[in-house]
Structure 1
Amino acid sequence: MTDQGSPKKQVNSFDVARLAGVSRSAVSRTFTDGASVSDETRKKVIKAAGELGYRVNVLARSLHKQKSDLVGVVAADLDNPFRAEQIDLLSQGLLERGFRPILLRGDPSADVADLIGSLLQYSVAGVIVTSDTPPEEICRECLENGVPLVVVNKRDPGAPVDRVVTDFEAGGRLAFEHLVASGCRKLAVVTPERSSFSINGRALAFERIANDAGIPVIPIAWGTQTYEGGLEASAHVNRVRSEVDGLFCTADYLALGVLDGLRHDYGINIPEDIQLVAYDDIVQASWKSYDMTTIVQSRRELCEITLNLLMRRLENPDLPQQVEICGVSLFQRATTLAP
């Protein structure tokens, strides 16, 4: 009598070979891309594998080949709609290119170097980092191990890794020029208290361009880059409301909270009292409740550039360091007045 609670025996290539009446090497060749095997043998092996529920041990094969089809993706802030869509598009793109994504969360408490180090243990084909900038040492370890590393919207880590960066300068200029063209002369910029490389780049560009034009900017750094952080920041905007007629929020997710706080907690009319430009163009920015004017940072284009950098590096490991800029545009909605 079979014990219903006992674990099912793991099917291996020997079992498939026995049932198909072929050698074990024939089974291996059947599941190896480009390997030579007759159609008759392939059909026998596929049929036997299906009957037995056999699956190729990809990790074991990667150890044998010293390289797998796995690509590590290190990401943080997965509650952010921008990040969630970015990771979804990266995963889809990797699958379409024949790779398998492994997602590791690079939250503030996590050490990015440790996360990348753990990926190297799986003989990954490459690593994409969208969380904190990895330290130079782990970048060089990736290079020494022949593992391409692409960092997205991060500062230069000091090692010659490939990078894709959004055009912060253009984004800051577009936000400033649109607010001024819409009649604003008293500006403020809202950032999280702990700014990332990309958030800081947007804010600095906006402030620098405004200062060059002789228009001062009130900096408001408060909370986190979240809806809740935006609600908290709205209280600080309200304190200087008489000094502000134009607001640049450096991320849509943050701006959603700022908008709700200003409107519902402090009775400020947008755009009649204060005009607002945000940044990212997440899906929620187009919702009728918000209808935000925003700087468009295309997730699809950003991901395509990232994946192309990785593919080029895999095809030609000796390429010089690649740094590509992803362009931005402005989409006007109801939080600003028509110029």
Structure 2
Amino acid sequence: MSNKDKPQRRATSFDVARVAGVSRAAVSRAFTPDASVSPKTREKIYQAAKELGYRVNYVARSLTNQRSDLVGLVVAGLDNPFRSLQIEYLARALLLRNFRPILLPTSKEADTSAVIGQLLHYPVSGVIVTSDAPPTEICEQCAAEGVPIVLINKGDDIPFVDRIISDDRTAGHLAADHLIDIGCKRLAVMAASSVSYTARRRSDVFLSRSRQRGVEAQLITVRVNDYRCGFESAPELGALSADGVFCVNDYMACGVIDRLAANRGSPDVPPIRIVGHDDIPQAQWDAYGLTTILQPCDLQAEQTVEMLVSRMANSDMTARVEFTPVELIKRKTS
């Protein structure tokens, strides 16, 4: 076998140190966030690493330090555009704090023990669990392993497990007040409230607020808070003679809008004002122009990562809850 046919040896930190003319410890500090190294030395090391094609082996480093830069993201409902946006901002926020996210897709029907097994095979520094993902067993096992964890939009009250929750109370008030203020007299809220903590909170507050304002409101129960269920359940609005509806997420609201558009002119589907929740990118499209409640993914991600980092620093703190503020965004549907 000729030299050119031989597999190339991967460059090591020793190689970088030799080329840069520094110690191996200096190389390690140069690639460690916030470590002390002069700008001139760091630049020499980065240039040598670039020439050699050197990359830091974070897994090997984690074995040495007994801690990694890895953070698990346990996620379900990736078909929902909001979830994709939420994960994008969480990943960005983690990277800004020098963590590396590991995405673990799951579902309510998934074998939670398998998810836990996959997660704890890695020396993760923390775990973030989003809404719709099954949390309880994951939280209990991670806590037993001493792994910090933060839940997003989850109702589970678990010792030493922190939560970030969108301000669903304000969201329900905003939706009801807006529809009533523009003249709606017969309201409905569409939600799979039995399977979703946020859907239940938003729909309950909406119904309560409508009653306080002296306006009739009905709950349309769907199986899942998704586009298909919104599309399939839209005719029930006509059966209720509703003139205003709050869909507990935009994904479902888009399904309602498309079904109403398909049946425009039918006596079974009267004109109706619509409010969603989340402000997904599609809500801004001309085809929808959806009035909605903004749940700011960027702020929520910052809150989540900040809470996770503080939990890493002090694992014995009592469980905390922090709310993400929301805002009404008015467009053409109401």
Instruction: State how far apart, in whole Å, the 1-side matches of 2:136 and 2:76 are.
Output: 19
Instruction: State how far apart, in whole Å, the 2-side matches of 1:220 and 1:234 are.
Output: 9
Aligned residue in 1 for 2:146: 146
Q: 1:127 Cα deviation (Å)?
A: 1.0
1:305 aligns with 2:326: no
Q: 1:89 Cα deviation (Å)?
A: 1.0
Instruction: State how far apart, in whole Å, the 2-side matches of 1:112 and 1:286 are.
Output: 36
Aligned residue in 1 for 2:101: 101
1:328 aligns with 2:326: yes
Amino acid at match of 1:63: L
Q: 1:169 Cα deviation (Å)?
A: 1.6
Instruction: State how far apart, in whole Å, the 2-side matches of 1:44 and 1:174 are.
Output: 56
CA shift in 2, pair 1:52/1:106, >3 Å: same
Question: Are the aligned partners of 2:86 and 2:301 in contact in 1 as well (CA < 8 Å)?
Answer: yes
3-state DSSP of counterpart to 1:64: helix
Q: 1:279 Cα deviation (Å)?
A: 1.3
Deviations 1:258-297 (A, max 9, x none): 011112224369x982222111122221222221221222
3-state DSSP of counterpart to 2:147: coil
Aligned residue in 2 for 1:130: 130
Aligned residue in 1 for 2:206: 206
Aligned residue in 1 for 2:279: 281
Q: 1:165 Cα deviation (Å)?
A: 0.8
Q: 1:36 Cα deviation (Å)?
A: 7.1
After TM superposition, the structure 1 = structure 2 runs for residues 252-271 of structure 1, keeping only pairs within 5 Å, are: 252-267=250-265
Deviations 1:70-126 (A, max 9, x none): 111111222322111111111111111111111111234433454244323321121
Amino acid at match of 2:324: C
Aligned residue in 2 for 1:317: 315
Q: 1:16 Cα deviation (Å)?
A: 4.8
Which range moves more in the overlay, 130-139 or 254-263?
130-139
Q: 1:151 Cα deviation (Å)?
A: 0.3
Q: 1:154 Cα deviation (Å)?
A: 0.5
Amino acid at match of 1:100: R
3-state DSSP of counterpart to 1:231: helix
3-state DSSP of counterpart to 2:322: strand
Amino acid at match of 1:66: Q
Question: Are the aligned partners of 1:151 and 1:161 in contact in 2 as well (CA < 8 Å)?
Answer: yes
Which range moves more in the overlay, 178-187 or 56-65?
178-187
After TM superposition, the structure 1 = structure 2 runs for residues 187-206 of structure 1, keeping only pairs within 5 Å, are: 187-192=187-192, 195-206=195-206
Question: Are the aligned partners of 1:133 and 1:151 in contact in 2 as well (CA < 8 Å)?
Answer: no
Q: 1:34 Cα deviation (Å)?
A: 6.3
Aligned residue in 2 for 1:59: 59
Aligned residue in 2 for 1:162: 162
Amino acid at match of 1:86: Q
Question: Are the aligned partners of 1:62 and 1:123 in contact in 2 as well (CA < 8 Å)?
Answer: yes
What 5-or-longer segments of structure 2 have no aligned partner? none
3-state DSSP of counterpart to 2:163: strand
Identity %: 46
Deviations 1:182-211 (A, max 9, x none): 222212211248642111221122123334
The TM-score with structure 1 as length reference comes to 0.84
Question: Are the aligned partners of 1:136 and 1:159 in contact in 2 as well (CA < 8 Å)?
Answer: no
Instruction: State how far apart, in whole Å, the 2-side matches of 1:200 and 1:110 are.
Output: 22
Question: Are the aligned partners of 1:139 and 1:159 in contact in 2 as well (CA < 8 Å)?
Answer: no
Instruction: State how far apart, in whole Å, the 2-side matches of 1:219 and 1:121 are.
Output: 44
Instruction: State how far apart, in whole Å, the 2-side matches of 1:169 and 1:39 are.
Output: 50
Question: Are the aligned partners of 1:150 and 1:162 in contact in 2 as well (CA < 8 Å)?
Answer: yes
Which range moves more in the overlay, 72-81 or 60-69?
72-81
What is the aligned-residue RMSD (CA, Å)?
A: 3.1
Q: How many pairs does the alignment contain?
A: 333
Question: Are the aligned partners of 1:194 and 1:224 in contact in 2 as well (CA < 8 Å)?
Answer: no
246, 249, 252: which is aligned to 1:251? 249
Instruction: State how far apart, in whole Å, the 2-side matches of 1:273 and 1:39 are.
Output: 65
Aligned residue in 1 for 2:235: 235
CA shift in 2, pair 1:331/1:68, >3 Å: same
Question: Are the aligned partners of 2:126 and 2:149 in contact in 1 as well (CA < 8 Å)?
Answer: yes
